[in-house]
Amino acid sequence: MHEIIWIDRKNLMRSKLADKPLYVALPDTGLVSLITATHIIQSQGATLLGFLDADWIPPITLVTKGDPSPPIKIYSTDTLNIFLSETPLPPSLWRLYAQVTYQTLTHLSSTLIISGTGIPNPKRLDIQSIDELRVFYLGKYLETEGINQEIRDKYNTSEKFTGSLAGPYSSIINYLIRENTPFITILVDSYLDYPDPESAAKLILELNSLLNINIDINKLLEKGSEIRLMARQLAIQTRRQNILSGQKTGSPPVGIYI
């Protein structure tokens, strides 16, 4: 059982009419997508549109300065809607989460899902500048009517990913393929075991370029050490859930050789 509870219907209607892409974030490799979403929400003064109520959500409440909220929420900025889980979900719930992501997209009348996550690079330690972090794209159904031509052009000129992708984003991608829904997923070099604010900053630069927006990353980089310290526990929990799935991102699909 799950239900989206809308708490700001006025802004929900505005978001529907504006047809903004839906950015999907949840804890995954390097907490890259979560740190990215949190920075966008804070720096852009995002509006909380609603939250997800479900009997399968882990029993946790997020409290900021005395203000409690459920862990899975929907926000809106001028340019993006954001579907965010602040708690890691066990692999058994990834498929359900993918379904809810798709429902959220249809509720918001968005035509495109954008997501981003870390790609665990064993040599990440040797990369000291965010300019050197590699970025890969994958996507589908971008020729669908309603997708901005600039987004298509940016996608077409980007470096594409080849390999297996494991984790919650795989469940989301597989579900979107089933529903013929346009999506773009951006992968950025990241630490496997540590929160990686620098990778998140790189992902924001890619979103800036893809969506022609201008989100500043300086504060995120300045707060990098603090974020890594605060997110220690979440990084461990997330890594644990990903290991339990028994899959690993990286190895190329055998089919490409045939």
Partner 1 sequence: MSWDFYEEFIKEIRRKLKELEDEVSNTLGIFPKDDLDEAVIEPLTSIRETPDCIIVSVDMPFVDPNTVEVKLIDSSSLQIIAHIKEDISSSIIDSTYPKMTFKKYKKNIKLPVKVKKIIRISMRGEILAVYLSKYS
**What residue ranges bind partner 1 (CB under 8 A)?**
122, 125-126, 128, 191-194, 224-226, 228-230, 232-233, 235-237, 239-240, 243
Nearer to partner 1, 100 or 130 (CB): 130
Strand partners, 232: none
What's the closest the beta carbon of residue 130 comes to partner 1, in angstroms?
Answer: 12
Nearer to partner 1, 160 or 232 (CB): 232
What's the closest the beta carbon of residue 232 comes to partner 1, in angstroms?
Answer: 6
Nearer to partner 1, 178 or 240 (CB): 240
Q: Is 206 helix (H, G, I), strand (E, B) or coil?
A: helix
Q: Is 199 exposed, middle or buried (0-12, 13-18, 19+ CB in 10 A)?
A: buried
Taking each helix axis from N to C terminus, what angle separates 197-211 and 32-43, rounded to the nearest 10 degrees?
A: 60
Exposure string (b/e) for 57-66, b if CB count within 10 Å is 16 or more?
beeeeeeeee
What's the closest the beta carbon of residue 191 comes to partner 1, in angstroms?
Answer: 8
What's the closest the beta carbon of residue 16 comes to partner 1, in angstroms?
Answer: 37
Nearer to partner 1, 175 or 191 (CB): 191
